Amino acid sequence: MSNTGSKREGSTLNIGALREGVVLDHIRAGYAMTIYKYLKLDKLECTVAIIKNAQSNKMGRKDIIKIEAPVETLDLDVLGFVDHNITVNVIKNNEIVEKRALKLPKQVVNIIRCKNPRCITSVESALDQVFVLADEEKEIYRCRYCEEMYHPKIRK
Ligand SMILES: [Zn+2]
C-alpha cells in the first residue's frame, strides 16, 4: 500500500464508485452495446461505463453497464424484454440498496418490428408496432395485428 494515488473527492468519472445510479450486471458477454441501444443510453446526458468481458463465476465472461442516473430513467420493461436474466442493482452512496427483478413485459410497443410483409404495420407506417406476450414459458411474442411470432434471439 502506498499513498501515491491522489484520489480526488467528487470526481465525475470515477468508474469504480457510483454515488447514485444503476449497475446492470450479468449481461451476456458481447451484448453490452445491444443493451445500450435498446435502453437508448446514447440519448441520456449521464455518465455511462461499459465493462466488457468481465470475469464471472457463473457465466465465465459477462458484460456490465454502470449508469449514473436514477433507476426511474431506465425502461426496465425493455430490459426485461431483451434479457430478463440481467441483474439490476440500484446504487446509492456506493452501496447496493436494491436489486430489481426483471420480468417479461406483457407487451412491447415500438421495440421490434413485425417482419410479415403483409402485416398492416408494414403498410401503415404510422401504426405502433405492438407485440404481445403469447407464451411466457417459451418467451414467445406475437404481433397484435397479424400474430406473426417473435422470439427474441438474444435469449437462449
Ligand atoms: Zn404483424
Question: What CATH number corresponds to the domain at position 92?
Answer: 3.30.70.140
In a domain, 120, yes or no: yes
Ligand 1 center from residue 80 Cα (angstroms) = 22
88 with 63, same domain?
Answer: yes
pLDDT by residue (tens digit) across 15-27?
567 889 999 999 9
pLDDT above 50: residue 57? yes
CA–CA distances in Å: residue 12 to residues 48, 51, 64, 156: 11, 17, 19, 37
CA-based nearest residue to 21, from 45, 59, 48:
48
Domain encompassing residue 125: 107-150
Task: For residue 150, report the distance from its CA to the centre of ligand 1, in Å.
Answer: 10
39 and 83 belong to one structural domain: yes
Do 72 and 29 belong to one domain?
Answer: yes
* Within a domain: 1: no
Rounded-to-integer distance, Cα 88 and Cα 39, Å: 13
Q: Do both 90 and 122 map to the same domain?
A: no
Asked if residue 112 and residue 96 are part of one domain, the reply reads: no
Q: Tell whether 74 and 124 lie within a shared domain.
A: no
The number of distinct structural domains making up the chain is: 2
pTM of structure: 0.79
39 and 91 assigned to the same domain:
yes
Q: Is residue 75 part of a domain?
A: yes
Q: How far apart are CA 103 and CA 90, in angstroms?
A: 17
Span 58-78, average pLDDT: 93
Mean pLDDT of 88-104: 92
Ligand 1 center to 129 CA (angstroms): 8
Q: Where does 10-71 show beta strands of DSSP type E? A: 20-28, 48-56, 60-67
How far does residue 125's CA lie from ligand 1's centre (Å)? 12
User: In this predicted structure, what is the pLDDT of residue 16?
Assistant: 64
Amino acid at 100: R
Each residue's pLDDT tens digit, 17-56? 788 999 999 999 999 999 999 999 999 999 999 999 999 9
C-alpha span between 96 and 88 (Å, rounded): 10
Q: For residue range 124-143, what is the model confidence (pLDDT) as tens digits?
A: 989 999 999 999 988 899 99
Rounded to the nearest whole angstrom, what is the distance from the C-alpha of residue 23 to the centroid of ligand 1?
35
CA-based end-to-end distance of the chain = 44
Q: Are residues 79 and 142 in the same domain?
A: no
Q: Can you give the pLDDT at residue 145?
A: 97
